[in-house]
Amino acid sequence: MTTLSLQQIDTHSPPTAPSKARSGLIDAHGRTIRDLRLSVTDRCNFRCAYCMEPDERFLPKQSLLQLSDYLDIIDAAIELGVRKLRITGGEPTLYPKLDALLESLGNRDLDDIAMTTNGWRLTAAQATRWRNAGLHRLTFSLDTLRADRMAAITRSTTTIDTVLQSIETAAAADFPRPKVNVVAQRGVNDDEAVDFARLARERDLDIRFIEFMPLDSGRHWDRDTVVTADETQAAIERVFDLKPRAGTTAAQTSTNFRFADGAPGAIGFIAPVSRPFCGACNRLRITAEGMVRPCLFSTREWDLRPAMASGDRPLLQRFLQDATWTKQAGHGIGSASFQQPERGMRAIGG
């Protein structure tokens, strides 16, 4: 079981941000937060080898925030300028009050509401209900197109066909072109880049290859296991020509391409290890039990619960502003001083 030391969880308030940062969520490096990643559960029915150890335990259910807490956080963040919200986990579809949450978000002033899922199950009724409630986008995780690898990577009984069916169900419910995240690992699935590109063309999908990051709870990450975005792109372009897609902004995590021959689908590369994009990062993360993580790789997180318990919205907002001010300049994966976070991705929320 992974535990966090007192050095990682700070029960005190973060350093007070200067008055110039009080107009919104602004960090000490001049970046303005517009994107909130909110985890609603630390539970997942997969135990992916690059994320979660087989014997890792979940937090006690009573430690997790209530639906009203999540909504209070979202409302406070919107008033501070957040325009995009991504619901994460764990696996967010395991959150028992997900429908109520999404229905409550439909009238919030947000430009984009998205959710990431492993696609273990998505019924037509769910997809239609979530789309009608105001969920704008669904992103799926699928790391292989080979059955034996699927079982080994996810340590689950969910099949590739099940995930692909969930993706089709989302498209049928009028969600825009589904995004599919693929974590590329050397010696695991690095020979499947062209297969995924072909899938994108056949099914009009947006396939995004993500470099393997040091966020595994077993702490087995090694730079030699990283398949860089350049390598993956080169493998695809030996078969399919790619052209840059217009409209990419500095704050986007992926470098996006379309097929030069006009075929359906799109390809993206997220390269936090080989090409860090920290300088334009506009994201803030909050875990399912109310810890503010200014950076995905933060080694310190701030306990939001005392401020929430006060029932004082301005106090909650000041806490968020102060926590945002502590956001580090970059993750520093390539530096000798880099320290891997105690939490794995499942416990952080992507």
CATH fold label, 16-348: TIM Barrel (3.20.20)
Query: DSSP letters along 205-260, please?
Result: -EEEEEE--S--TT----GGGB--HHHHHHHHHTTS-EEEPTT--TT-SEEEEEET
- Contact between 271 and 228 under an 8 Å Cβ cutoff? The reply is yes
DSSP at 72 = H
**pTM, entire model:** 0.92
Q: Which residue has the higher pLDDT, 39 or 107?
A: 39
- Contact between 130 and 162 under an 8 Å Cβ cutoff? The reply is no
Question: pLDDT tens digits for 295-309?
Answer: 999 989 999 999 999
DSSP at 174 = T
- Contact between 188 and 151 under an 8 Å Cβ cutoff? The reply is no
Residue 273: count other Cβ atoms within 10 Å of its Cβ: 20
Instruction: Write the CB contacts of 258 (distance below 8 Å, at least 6 apart in sequence).
Output: 242, 243, 245, 265, 266, 267
Distance (Å, rounded) from C-alpha 96 to C-alpha 228? 37
Mean pLDDT to the nearest integer, 314-329: 96
Confidence (pLDDT) at 251: 66
Q: Which of 158, 178, 157 is nearest to 167 (CA)?
A: 178
Question: pLDDT tens digits for 169-190?
Answer: 999 999 999 999 999 999 999 9
**pLDDT of 5 above 50:** no
Confidence (pLDDT) at 217: 83
Residue 58: count other Cβ atoms within 10 Å of its Cβ: 17
Question: pLDDT tens digits for 245-270?
Answer: 987 676 678 999 999 999 999 999 99
Mean pLDDT to the nearest integer, 299-320: 95
Which secondary-structure segment (H or E) carries 128?
helix 124-133
**pLDDT of 276 above 60:** yes
Question: pLDDT tens digits for 11-53?
Answer: 467 988 887 667 899 999 999 999 999 999 999 999 999 999 9
Can you state the angle between helices 193-203 and 160-172, rounded to 10 degrees?
30
- Contact between 63 and 3 under an 8 Å Cβ cutoff? The reply is no
Least confident piece of the model among 96-100, 238-242, 299-303: 299-303
